[in-house]
Chains A and B, each alone.
Chain A
Amino acid sequence: MLYLVFRQLIHLVLSFFVLTIFTFSLAQLFPQGISFIIEAESNNIFSGETSQNLVNQTSNFFVSYYQYISQVLSGYFGLSTVRGTSVFDEFFIYFPATLELSFAALFFATGLGLPLGIFAAKHKHKWQDKVIVSTSLAGSSIPIFWWAMLLVLLFSLFLGITPVASRIGFEYDILPITGFMLIDTLISNQDYATEAFISALHHLILPAIVLGTIPLTAITRTTRSAMIGVLSEDYIRSAKTRGISAVVVVWKYALRNAMIPIMTTLSLQISVLIAGSLLTETIFSWPGAGKWLLEAVNRRDFPVIHGGILAIASFVILSHILLDFLSMLVDPKWRHR
């Protein structure tokens, strides 16, 4: 057990090290290197004060890297050249919105994908199965922006039942405490806290469906193939012959064993979600980290681009490793080592 934790930690440190080397070289590869980026900060718009240098430009690569990594580890990612605010602080303003959206999308994808996959597996090679398989194939090849626009046109503009964009109705003034709108509305002391919560939920629906579509198809297909494999095992047949109800057999005996490949697929979806959030957030004017990065790219706001990439990539690494660890806990083969 301890060995496992230790191994995962080593993984974490190594991946983070490779990541920082990458972002650092990225900065160095720019025409004037990282010093240029820092200089740009000293005449940023909002603050005339010269910012603390991330890297001393005269030193060699290793010394520069050492300085860079120690700054990064202490939570200093530089200042936005456009707004003069700390990139690290900005990240924590925008990222919760992305996280909230991704959770909602994942909730949608697993909640719908698991039953669909199981249903397809139970009706293997019948028409129900074929419908699900071909729809999920079509779903995974949909361009996400087209799909989003289609849904907005149908649900928001034609039927008028979902909002067009943003996280919450503009009539609600919610103080960001955690950054998660659903939580902030609930702990808000405004009179309209409940209405605001419903509005926030309401605004989540379409973006979550759009962002969750590709993970949904992946989960459906993985669940289906894993379940087909498990359902043909001998112990399932013997469980059935013992007269255990079909529901219990499928949901308790079979699904647990099919969970391992599903968990792997799930952990792979994290990068899909983060990448997809860039498009989804732009389409729905969702003030999250994806839109934040995209605007930074448009503005050539290098500190935000570098800091943002580093922060998001670190998050992805961290969550991958956590999920890896979780799936080991679920897997009895590992649990007893």
Chain B
Amino acid sequence: MYKFSVFFLAAFGYSFVLVGCNNNQSSTVRDKILVYCSEASPQSFNPQLVTSGTTFDASSRQIYNRLIEFSPGTSRIMGSLATRWDISADGKQYIFYLRKGVQFQTTNFFQPTRHFNADDVLFSFQRQWKKNHPFHNVSSLGFPYFESMELGKLIKNIVKLDDYRVKFVLNNPDAPFLATLAMDFASILSAEYAHQLIPKNELSSLDTQPVGTGPFQLTRYQADAFIRYKAHPDYWKGKEQIDGLVFAITPDPSLRFARLIAGECDLMAKPLPIHLRAVIDYPKLVTLSEPGSNISYLAMNTTKKPFDDQKVRLAINHAINKKLLLKIIYHGNAEIAKNPIPPNMWSYNDTVSDIPFSLEKARELLDSAGYSKGFDMDLWAAPVQRTYNPNAIKMAKLIQQDLEKINIHAKIVSYEFGTFLNKVKNGEHHAALLGWIGDNGDPDNFFSSLLSCAAARSGSNASYWCDPDFDQIITQAGQKSDLKARTQLYRTAQEKFSQSSPWVPIAHSKQFIITHERVNNFHLTPTDGVYFSGVTLKPLHKTEQLSKQAEK
């Protein structure tokens, strides 16, 4: 027993000695590994199935390529897997010329025998499009983007002209079509891999064990812990300079910040305003910011009473004090929203007036709607921090107080984010705090994904508001290629939206990311995507410890 104790004390002391010298141990390995403290586990590794940015960050933006992509840090499109394209005069036919010699990733579950070709393009789109495709019903998540953008109706045919030419035939001209193909859900999967899964009867592996052409390939994933990638050695743009990429899944923002300070992470996702202020004390940290193309809103479920009544919706709009929300939730790092699209987007209608905060107006409207005694409702908020909303629960509490003043008793309902989204998609909510980050810089991306009748059917229109006039306007606007005419249509649509008020538009927030200074060549994109292709790392010196300035 005595010996045991001596041994223990020795071991304990030794471990503290280790602590002292451990900091220098791993500088060489660490120099080639980029660690990103991300905010949540992805829902899937297939970008076709989801709408959340977290999942895109973990899948399409690292593992896959698309025919067309955004050039880094902008919303300008450029060729990627398609080197160039021809558009017919009537705007209905697109011929894409595919890149040759593109290798798919070799993983321990898949060995590609051929290069990327037209079959992969056909497979990736037909899976989402054709109801009888063997992979169409593999996941119950559906194809929210493909469906809510009504691409099934838009695309008439996809034809393989030869191995390296694919023709898309559309039913009607569609202005944002090229930008659409640059979106995450249009990522190109390997048809060869899919066909190998069929005899093994492991169809669902396509969505959990991804194979793409992108800069990084998945090596290991443990839910709620980490995602590990290694650089794709045969990447067509050349192997990345960093060998490995790790997503350290850390839902707690303060823990993310702590990890960044301790040097465990090189970048942290979604800092809180308090962290942005604290960064000043740490000279080795850099804050990157970008005006975001996003909106945070309260969607009222217009299929449920009493939200089917426009007066009730307008009353709620009047009752919420947005200025206070902006001050408390966003600490001023945002602008008040009145339209469903952000102010830096073309066609933004500044003549639409914001519905003013007025409890009297709200009470009057409730009286005339026959709810003078108020009512009970569920107010849904997810316990996660998003770019467009740093703290939805806190926001829900403030809104709850506001609504209490006009006798509406709101009960806050919350679920883990994935569950929350799925339940909202099923229409189980009365009103939900949601948000949207534009993915292609086109207003159509906001209007048709969030407010169209098609989106009401697929569930991404969380207010289930389907106004035939409005729907017609945005459909028209989506088909024209004349920018002036489109602008005019979208401006009208914003007026109609404001009159009907299916949402309470709340704010457009700026987006931030904090990085360690050793991270070079990282760009924030207007669409809030995190892309690690092209990022380089400066070696960490042994003595270089990230420490607080004592002088301060």
Q: Which residues of A contact B (CB under 8 A)?
A: 43-49, 82-84, 93, 107-108, 110-112, 114-115, 152, 156-158, 160-166, 169-173, 192, 195, 198-199, 201-202, 205, 247, 251-252, 255-256, 285, 287, 291-292, 295, 298-300
CB pair A285 B18 closer than 8 Å: no
Known contacts A44-B140, A47-B204, A48-B137; A287 and B264 CB within 8 A of each other: no
Answer whether residue B138 sits at the interface, using C-beta atoms and an 8 A cutoff.
Answer: yes
Residue of A nearest to B546 (CB): A160
Instruction: Please measure, in the bound complex, the distance between the C-alpha atom of A246 and the C-alpha atom of B11, giving whole angstroms.
Output: 25
Instruction: List residues 182-227 of chain B with CB under 8 A from any CB of chain A.
Output: 203-204, 207-208, 219-220, 222-226
Known contacts A160-B23, A202-B19; A108 and B12 CB within 8 A of each other: yes
CB pair B18 A198 closer than 8 Å: yes
Answer whether residue B2 sits at the interface, using C-beta atoms and an 8 A cutoff.
Answer: yes
Answer whether residue B165 sits at the interface, using C-beta atoms and an 8 A cutoff.
Answer: no
Task: Give the residues in chain B near A256, CB-CB below 8 Å.
Answer: 1
CB pair A48 B25 closer than 8 Å: no
Answer whether residue B35 sits at the interface, using C-beta atoms and an 8 A cutoff.
Answer: yes
Instruction: Please measure, in the bound complex, the distance between the C-alpha atom of A150 and the C-alpha atom of B35, giving whole angstroms.
Output: 25
Instruction: List residues 435-480 of chain B with CB under 8 A from any CB of chain A.
Output: none
Could you name 12 residue pairs across A and B whose Cβ atoms are closer than 8 Å? Answer: A48-B138, A152-B258, A164-B259, A170-B33, A170-B226, A173-B220, A195-B25, A195-B29, A198-B18, A285-B252, A285-B255, A287-B225
Min Cβ gap A42→B in Å is: 9
5 nearest interchain CB pairs?
A: A111-B8, A287-B225, A298-B416, A251-B2, A299-B416
Of B5, B204, B219, which one neighbours A46 at CB under 8 angstroms?
A: B204
Instruction: Please measure, in the bound complex, the distance between the C-alpha atom of A157 and the C-alpha atom of B12, giving whole angstroms.
Output: 21
Of A163, A195, A252, which one neighbours B1 at CB under 8 angstroms?
A: A252
CB pair A202 B22 closer than 8 Å: yes
CB pair B207 A46 closer than 8 Å: yes
Q: Contacts A46-B139, A84-B204 given; 14 further ones with Cβ under 8 A? A: A47-B204, A48-B139, A111-B8, A111-B9, A152-B258, A160-B262, A160-B547, A166-B225, A170-B248, A171-B35, A198-B18, A201-B15, A202-B19, A287-B226
Answer whether residue B246 sits at the interface, using C-beta atoms and an 8 A cutoff.
Answer: yes
Question: Interface digits, B251-267 against A, CB 8 Å rule (1 contact, 0 not)?
Answer: 01001001101101000
Residue of B nearest to A115 (CB): B5
Task: Give the residues in chain A near B43, CB-CB below 8 Å.
Answer: 45
Q: In the complex, which range does the number of interface residues on chain B fall in? A: 35 or more
CB pair B19 A251 closer than 8 Å: no
Task: Give the residues in chain B near A202, CB-CB below 8 Å.
Answer: 15, 18-19, 22
Task: Give the residues in chain B near A165, CB-CB below 8 Å.
Answer: 250, 255, 258-259, 264
Of B5, B16, B30, B419, which one neighbours A114 at CB under 8 angstroms?
A: B5
CB pair B250 A285 closer than 8 Å: yes
Answer whether residue B415 sits at the interface, using C-beta atoms and an 8 A cutoff.
Answer: yes
CB pair A299 B418 closer than 8 Å: yes
Instruction: Please measure, in the bound complex, the distance between the C-alpha atom of A111 and the C-alpha atom of B2, giving whole angstroms.
Output: 11
Known contacts A48-B138, A171-B33, A295-B224; A164 and B264 CB within 8 A of each other: yes
Known contacts A157-B258, A170-B248, A300-B415; A45 and B225 CB within 8 A of each other: no
Min Cβ gap B107→A in Å is: 14
Min Cβ gap A107→B in Å is: 7
CB pair B26 A192 closer than 8 Å: yes
Of A47, A156, A247, which one neighbours B2 at CB under 8 angstroms?
A: A247
Task: Give the residues in chain B near A111, CB-CB below 8 Å.
Answer: 4-5, 8-9, 11-12
Task: Give the residues in chain A near B11, CB-CB below 8 Å.
Answer: 111
CB pair A255 B224 closer than 8 Å: no
Task: Give the residues in chain B near A291, CB-CB below 8 Å.
Answer: 224
